[in-house]
Amino acid sequence: MRRVMMRFAGREVEFVDRDVALRQLDELAEGGTWWPLVVYGPEGCGKTALLRQAFELLSEREYDVVYVNPLEEEARRLVVTEGLRDIVKRTWREVLGKAVHPAAPALVELAMAVVSRALRRGRGRIALLADEVFQAVGVDRAELLVKAMLNVIEHPPQSYDKAVVVVASSEGVTRARIGRHRWSEIRVMWNMPRDGLQKLHDLLPGEKPSFEEAWRWTGGNPEALERLYRARWHVDVVVDNIIENKEVTAAFVRRWRAHLPRSLEDPDYLWEEPDAEGLAKDLVEKNLVIPLKGRRPDAWIDVPPPERDPELGIGKYYAWQTPIHREAVKRALRQ
């Protein structure tokens, strides 16, 4: 399979690693998905990269593919394989009228309409890759969107060969809501394994800290590596950014002061301590911490993290998204 080119740290790089995930996607392509597959993972772990590679994989397997990501730059928000271009044109007119720059929810609606229209045509194989669509439709409508996706593959207007629906999200709030229905299969994708991160680290030009140091800060998260690179390896700058963006405010720290130190030491404290339930919820909502799902390989996309890695902030049930995220909370607590 052709490996697609990615933009990483200001240069073009080939999609690296993630062999297990690609094998899993290949199996999906073989059999189709019975339910929409919803993939959660830390911000910047490589979900969009994987979906872009999946686009290539599926089109090589003769799928018509629709990729939608309302958060992307305009040219990349809706991408379809050749055979769907006409349908997009027609559907666009019907769903959006003359709108040239559709708002995010309309774009998702359009993508869904294209899929269901392609199915009506009775054509063989169709895939929908929906990237960060939950924010677009509104968190409270995420469940309904997943249900709508299920309806499309469960009750297609025509008989068709196979359908694959994959949704990627780094948005923690929706996970529990979607998880309570049986409308989808939820899996978690973790940061890159060492080999993968090493390849990206090797590609970075100029003076840089050793791979070991990069690993200790990023825990394998390629976006964290990219940010460190852009900040010329001033960890402080990246950490302060997280404090700001995630609003790790003095009020937040004060509210949870009793439970933060233990959670920083071992994220599983959030699982074990009843009084820390609210903190767990807040940390998930702020996308600082992510709940994990055992370590059965079929609950994951690609390889799961180790069962425990205190140095990286990985517990059995919860993990800090990256060590830098943990550092941000640690620093906010000190201030």
Ligand X SMILES: Nc1ncnc2c1ncn2[C@@H]1O[C@H](COP(=O)(O)OP(=O)(O)O)[C@@H](O)[C@H]1O
Q: How many residues bind Mg ion (CB under 5 A)?
A: 2
For position 252 contacting ligand X by CB under 6 A, the verdict is: no
Q: Which stretch binds ligand X (CB under 6 A): 39-47, 140-148, 246-254, 285-293?
A: 39-47
Question: Does 47 help bind ligand X (rule: CB under 6 A)?
Answer: yes
Q: Determine, following the binding rule CB under 5 A, whether residue 48 of this chain makes contact with Mg ion.
A: yes
Structure-token pair, residue 120: 């009506």
- For 156, the 3-state DSSP assignment is coil
Closest contact distance (angstroms) between CB of 275 and ligand X is 32
Is 222 a binding residue for ligand X by CB under 6 A? The answer is yes
State the minimum distance, in angstroms, from the CB of residue 222 to ligand X: 3
Quick note: the x/- pattern for ligand X over 162-181, rule CB under 6 A, is --------x-----------
Should residue 46 be labelled a site residue for ligand X when binding is judged by CB under 6 A? yes
Residue type, 41: G
Contact 102, 110 (CB under 8 A): yes
Q: Which is nearer to Mg ion, 47 or 162 (CB)?
A: 47
Minimum separation from the CB atom of position 175 to ligand X (A): 15
Per rule CB under 6 A, is residue 214 in the interface with ligand X? no
Told to check if 33 binds ligand X by CB under 6 A, we report no
7 binds, among Mg ion, ligand X, none (CB under 5 to 8 A by kind): ligand X
Q: How far is the CB of 116 from Mg ion (least distance, A)?
A: 25
Contacts 24+ apart (CB under 8 A), 174-183: 174/134, 174/139, 174/142, 174/143, 175/40, 175/284, 175/291, 177/139, 177/142, 177/143, 178/38, 178/142, 178/143, 178/146, 181/143, 181/146, 181/147, 182/35, 183/35, 183/36, 183/143, 183/146, 183/147, 183/150
Interacting span for ligand X (CB under 6 A) from 43-51, 78-86, 259-267, 271-279: 43-51
Q: Is 268 helix (H, G, I), strand (E, B) or coil?
A: coil
Q: CA 26 to CA 219: how far, in whole Å? A: 27
Quick count: other Cβ atoms within 10 Å of Cβ 201?
21
d(CA 142, CA 147): 9
Specify whether the CB–CB gap between 157 and 119 falls below 8 A.
yes
Chain residue whose CB lies nearest Mg ion: 48
Residue nearest to ligand X (CB): 46
Contacts (Cβ under 8 Å, ≥6 apart) of 110: 68, 78, 88, 91, 92, 95, 96, 102
Token pair listed for 74: 């305009």
> Least separation, in Å, of the C-beta of 16 and ligand X?
4
Q: Does 49 bind ligand X (CB under 6 A)?
A: yes
Residues that bind ligand X (CB under 6 A): 6-8, 13, 15-18, 41, 43-49, 170, 222-223, 226
